[in-house]
Amino acid sequence: MKKIILYAALTVVVSLIVNGCERDKLPIIDPYPVEIFEPASPQKSNDMKLYVHYMPWFETPETNGGAWGQHWTMANKNPNNMDENGKREIAAHYYPLIGPYASGDKDALEYHLLLMKYSGIDGLLVDWYGTRDLYDYPAVKRNTEVLMDVAGKVGLELAIVYEDQTLRAEMEGTDEKMAQAQADMKYLEANFFNKSNYIKVDGKPLLLVFGPQEISSPDNWSTILSVLNTKPSFLALYGHSGATNTAATKNAQGEYIWVDATSMDTKYAAKDNFELFMSGAYPGFHDFYKEGGWGESVLSSIDYADGATFRNLLNMAKSNHVDMLQLITWNDFGEGTMIEPTEEFGYSFLSELQTFSGISYNTPVLEDIYKYYVLKKQYPNNLKVQSALSQAFYYFISLQQDKARSILDEYKVN
């Protein structure tokens, strides 16, 4: 049969040449075709919207001019130093299962987003530094743009958490800060708010501010947001909406929970004061700031309690009947709030989330996604293997995980 197909192909080519066709007009046959599928949404028994806070600020030497980014090094760690097992020295108490990565690496992003999808997460809330050409802000901006694209392919939503504290650096006076904040809002509206997978609440784009910490006048926030054609569903950090609202001026529709020393009972007691309220759940807290030379710890450690802390906070959100829950965080390794798989915790936090969300998947599919990532890195220049893995990706996003596994089973991880 193969000989007959080959002969037929040769006959067509000879015929085209004889008839005067140019070589550049001959049909190109892909030796490893990939069947494309649209993303599908998994069924969950828990209809609460689950969003995860995501840090897009990690860099490796390949993406950062030969140097490791500061969020892997802080002031005194060098990831080029490795132990006998190949584990790099990073500024964190916990080590990502895939090792330190770049936030613009599409392989790492696919790995992260597929894990989220199969854990019941609906979307990401991305920590964003604005549009200034200063420090690592351009890298965060670039990485967020890549993340938005990959999230759309996987079938996840995304919204922005604006860090207004970035307006402090090298800016003089309120007018300059306001102008920059307005420019940032215009950029978000032109490049994010109009995307089909940008998170909408009540038909309006969701926008969070981490604080605010720098712009503390409600009138100034009215001016900043006035440049937008559509006023966003705007949330401030717990206890900070007073900096955006007055009795006459209501810019923020509500607040969202974050990890701090205030009791969760106190935070939930305020939820009915707002039109919108986003709860929060975290696995624990153990920052690396003091060890990494970045100053004193910002908060006393919170015990992970073998997953009980995370489980209890998830259940508290459920018992309070909230509509939206922020998972704090996917990958803040510097503060130790990550639910991303690590060598220390494995997939335990995501397994807990699978149970909470009522999704039908469990740990084996998460292990398959990890294998998918490892094979992507193991065969970077093998077109045949990369094409097969691309097919596995489209099977994963369309919830044909058994077909994806059958492809992965053809290859052995070194």
Concatenating the DSSP letter of every residue in 189-229 gives IIIIITSTTB-EETTEEEEEES--SS---HHHHHHHHTT-S
Indicate whether 241 belongs to any domain: no
Indicate whether 353 belongs to any domain: yes
Indicate whether 340 belongs to any domain: yes
Indicate whether 249 belongs to any domain: no
Full residue range of the structural domain in which residue 313 is found: 49-162+257-408
**Which residues of the chain register pLDDT less than 50?**
1-20
Radius of gyration of the chain (CA): 24
The per-residue pLDDT for 171 is 85
Indicate whether 210 belongs to any domain: no
Question: How far is the C-alpha of 183 from the C-alpha of 324, rounded, in Å?
Answer: 29
Phi, then psi, of 269 in degrees rounded to 5? -65, -20
Indicate whether 155 belongs to any domain: yes
CATH of the domain at 146: 3.20.20.80
Indicate whether 304 belongs to any domain: yes
For 377-406, write each residue's pLDDT tens digit.
999 999 999 999 999 999 999 999 999 999
Distance of CA 207 to the CA centre of its chain: 15
Q: Which letter, b or e, does each residue of 182-215 get, where b requires 16 or more Cβ atoms within 10 Å of its Cβ?
A: bebbeebbeebbeeebbbbbeebbbbbbbbbbbb
Task: Give me the number of domains the chain comprises.
Answer: 1
Distances (CA, A) of 99 to 65, 71, 94, 108, 364: 19, 13, 10, 10, 20
Indicate whether 56 belongs to any domain: yes
The per-residue pLDDT for 11 is 38
Question: How far is the C-alpha of 356 from the C-alpha of 141, rounded, in Å?
Answer: 32
The per-residue pLDDT for 400 is 98
